[in-house]
Amino acid sequence: MPQILKVDPRDEGDLARAVATIRAVLDKSGVIAFPTDTFYGLGADPSDEEALSRIFLAKGRPEGKPLLVLVTSTRQARTLAETLPPVAEKLIPAFWPGPLTLVFKARESLPERLTAGTGTIGLRQPGNDFTLRLLQALGRPLTATSANPSGQPSPVTAEQAATLLGDGVDLIVDAGPTPGGRESTLLDVTVSPPRLLREGAVSRKRIEDALGFSLAAAGSAA
């Protein structure tokens, strides 16, 4: 079974002490499970091919499905996205941090396994305070697909993640239970108008109100 590292989410010193252990795992192409806005997610360095392969293996995830990435800021998003179009520059201040994942054109240097050959990358700044502070302390973005084998329930506790994944993960960061709830909304901003790929915690209406125009229908041509 993986190591479970308990961290008090209210204690900055506790997080600072845990970061060295977490960073050491990630630096060795390791995979961690950690709390996100809704469920526990699988975290790895998005530039590490070996770590990404281990995520797909642990989840039994289809090769054609890209992995979303959590970032700390617009500045960090620019290191992964080829460009941030004006529509994204309008949405980010309105909905980040929060449950809106924006799909951008990916930088060509990113691993194909991360993008699943789509040429795009889904990015989000998490709304969960602990998750955001963890990313900031690590100084790097992390993948955040749910910490469960494909088709299984998503875990809301470290113990559930450990049971579901076993040795498929190296370290579980236990900062207490997550709230569950609706997954993030997924919006493709590589097309104009943007296309809603999945309506989740942020409604279509809220996005359209922020933009001042209607979104493209799901599945419509660019």
- Residue pair 30/171 in contact (Cβ under 8 Å)? The answer is yes
Pairing of strands 3-6, 145-146: unpaired
**Count of structural domains, the chain:** 1
Q: Residue 67 domain-assigned?
A: yes
The whole-number average pLDDT for the span 70-98 is 97
Question: Is it the case that residue 222 has pLDDT exceeding 60?
Answer: no
Q: Residue 85 domain-assigned?
A: yes
pLDDT attached to residue 64:
84
- Residue pair 70/144 in contact (Cβ under 8 Å)? The answer is yes
Question: Is it the case that residue 138 has pLDDT exceeding 50?
Answer: yes
Q: Look up the CATH number of the domain holding residue 126.
A: 3.90.870.10
On average, the pLDDT of the chain sits at 95
pLDDT band at 59 (very low <50, low <70, confident <90, very high): very high
The beta-strand segments (E) located in 28-180 are 32-35, 40-43, 69-70, 100-105, 120-124, 142-143, 145-146, 171-174
Residue pLDDT, tens place only, 159-200: 999 999 999 999 999 999 999 999 999 999 999 999 999 999
Q: Residue 220 domain-assigned?
A: no
Containing domain of residue 140, as a range? 3-211
Computed from CA positions of residues 2, 156, 146, 174, in that sequence, does the dihedral angle turn out positive or negative?
negative
The whole-number average pLDDT for the span 22-37 is 98
Q: Using the structure block, give the residue that is written with the tokens 């076993």.
A: 166
Q: Residue 219 domain-assigned?
A: no
Q: Residue 97 domain-assigned?
A: yes
The whole-number average pLDDT for the span 73-82 is 97
Question: Is it the case that residue 8 has pLDDT exceeding 60?
Answer: yes
Q: Residue 202 domain-assigned?
A: yes
Tokens of residue 139, six digits: 């100084």
Strand partners, 41: 34, 146
Q: Residue 200 domain-assigned?
A: yes
Question: Is it the case that residue 93 has pLDDT exceeding 50?
Answer: yes
Q: Residue 216 domain-assigned?
A: no
